[in-house]
Amino acid sequence: MTILDECHKKLADLQKQVTQTSRNVISRTQKWRRLSTVPSTDCDVVVIFKTELSEEIVDWLIKIIKNRVPQLVIHKQFHRTSRQYALYLTASYIGLLTGAEELRIKKSLLPEHGGGLREFSVDEFSLFDNVMDEKLFLSTSERSNIVHHFLMSLRACREDSDMCSIKFDNDQCMIPSLQSAGIILQIFPLHEPNELNKLTSIWIRRWVVLQPLDEIKEYFGTKVAFYFAWLGHYTYSLIFPSVVGLAVWLFVSPNKNSSFYYLLMAIINLIWTSLYLEHWKRTSSFLAYRWSSWDTPISLLEEPRPLFKGILSLCPITGRPIRTYPKWKRLLILCFITTPIVLFSLIIVIYITLIYVQLQEKMNIYADNNTSIIPNFILVTLPKIFLAVSISIMDFSYKKIAIWLTDFENHRLEDDYNNHYVVKLILLQFVNSFYSLFYTAFYLKDLELLRKQLVTLLLTRQIIDSIRETFLPLGHSRLRQVWLSLKYEQRCLVERNKLKSKDNNGSLSTSNLSSSLAPSSKTDSDVDKCSISPENNSQCADNNITRMNVDVNPEIFIHQRIQTVTEENKLNYNSKSFDHSEETRITPAEREATLLRYEDPTDDFLEMFIQFGYVSMFTGIFPLAGLLAFMNNIIEIRGDAYKLSTSYQRPFGKFANSIGIWQLALDVVSYIAVIVNIALLGISGTAQRLFPNLSSSQLIIFLVLIEHAIIITRAAISALVPHTPTSVVLQIAKLEHRRREALKILERESMREHQRQQSPSNV
Three-state secondary structure readout of 75-128: EEEEECCCCEEEEEEEECHHHHHHHHHHCCCEEEECHHHCCCEEECCHHHHHHE
Higher pLDDT, 249 or 280: 280
Mean local confidence (pLDDT), 346-372:
80
Mean local confidence (pLDDT), 3-22:
58
Question: Residue 542 — very low, low, confident or very high, per pLDDT cuts 50/70/90?
Answer: very low
Residue 449: pLDDT over 80: yes
> Which stretch, 97-101, 356-360, 500-504, has highest mean pLDDT?
97-101
Mean local confidence (pLDDT), 368-391:
76
Least confident range of 19-28, 260-269, 524-533: 524-533
pLDDT for res 485:
67
Q: Report the phi/psi class of residue 305: left, alpha or beta, with left for phi > 0 and alpha for psi in -120 to 50.
A: beta
pLDDT for res 538:
38
Higher pLDDT, 247 or 161: 247
Mean local confidence (pLDDT), 256-284:
82
Residue 234: pLDDT over 90: yes
pLDDT for res 573:
37
Higher pLDDT, 630 or 259: 630
- C-beta separation of 118 from 109 below 8 A: yes
- Cα angle 398, 403, 409 (rounded to 5 degrees) comes to 125
Mean local confidence (pLDDT), 481-493:
68
Higher pLDDT, 222 or 573: 222
pLDDT for res 237:
93
pLDDT for res 498:
74
- C-beta separation of 723 from 281 below 8 A: yes
Which residues are within 8 A (CB) of 80 and not within 5 positions of it... i.e. 6 or more apart?
488, 525, 526, 553, 585
pLDDT digits (tens, 9 = 90+) for 676-726: 999 988 888 777 887 888 888 888 898 899 889 989 988 888 888 888 888
pLDDT digits (tens, 9 = 90+) for 309-324: 878 777 777 667 777 8
Question: Residue 12 — very low, low, confident or very high, per pLDDT cuts 50/70/90?
Answer: low
pLDDT digits (tens, 9 = 90+) for 266-279: 888 888 998 999 99
Mean local confidence (pLDDT), 618-642:
89
- C-beta separation of 472 from 643 below 8 A: no
Residue 87: pLDDT over 50: yes
Residue 16: pLDDT over 90: no
Q: Exposed (0-12), middle (13-18) or buried (19+): which is 762, by Cβ within 10 Å?
A: exposed
pLDDT for res 513:
40
pLDDT for res 232:
93
Mean local confidence (pLDDT), 583-597:
76
Instruction: Please give the sequence-ordered ranges of beta strands (E in DSSP) within 562-652, or none if there are none.
Output: none
Question: Residue 541 — very low, low, confident or very high, per pLDDT cuts 50/70/90?
Answer: very low
Rounded CA-CA distance 558/571 in Å is 9
Helix (H, G, I), strand (E, B) or coil at 372: coil
pLDDT for res 38:
41
Rounded CA-CA distance 79/593 in Å is 10
Helix (H) or strand (E) run with residue 45 in it: strand 45-49
Residue 27: pLDDT over 60: no
Residue 760: pLDDT over 70: no
Mean local confidence (pLDDT), 344-356:
84
Mean local confidence (pLDDT), 246-261:
71
pLDDT digits (tens, 9 = 90+) for 633-672: 998 898 899 889 888 899 998 888 899 899 999 999 999 9
CA 680 to chain centre: 37
pLDDT for res 591:
82
> DSSP string spanning 434-469?
HHHHHHIIIII--HHHHHHHHHHHHHHHHHHHHIII
Rounded CA-CA distance 424/437 in Å is 21
Pick from 605, 665, 676, 603: nearest CA to 427: 665
Q: What is the pTM of this model?
A: 0.79
Backbone angles phi, psi at 390, to 5 degrees: -60, -40
Mean local confidence (pLDDT), 564-593:
52
pLDDT for res 540:
39
Mean local confidence (pLDDT), 735-755:
74
Q: Exposed (0-12), middle (13-18) or buried (19+): which is 651, by Cβ within 10 Å?
A: buried
Q: What percent of the chain has pLDDT over 90?
A: 21
pLDDT for res 229:
95
Residue 227: pLDDT over 90: yes
Helix (H, G, I), strand (E, B) or coil at 156: strand
Rounded CA-CA distance 630/235 in Å is 6
- C-beta separation of 229 from 212 below 8 A: no
pLDDT for res 228:
95
CA distance to 372, 450, 637, per residue, from 386 (Å): 21, 16, 28
Backbone angles phi, psi at 48, to 5 degrees: -110, 130
Higher pLDDT, 354 or 491: 354
Question: Residue 483 — very low, low, confident or very high, per pLDDT cuts 50/70/90?
Answer: low
Q: What percent of the chain has pLDDT over 70?
A: 76
Mean local confidence (pLDDT), 224-252:
90
Dihedral (Cα; 323, 325, 327, 328), 10-degree rounding: 160
Rounded CA-CA distance 570/510 in Å is 11
Q: Helix crossing, 414-439 with 339-368: angle to 10°?
A: 30
Q: Report the phi/psi class of residue 109: left, alpha or beta, with left for phi > 0 and alpha for psi in -120 to 50.
A: beta
pLDDT digits (tens, 9 = 90+) for 168-219: 777 778 888 888 888 999 999 999 888 999 998 888 877 666 789 999 999 9
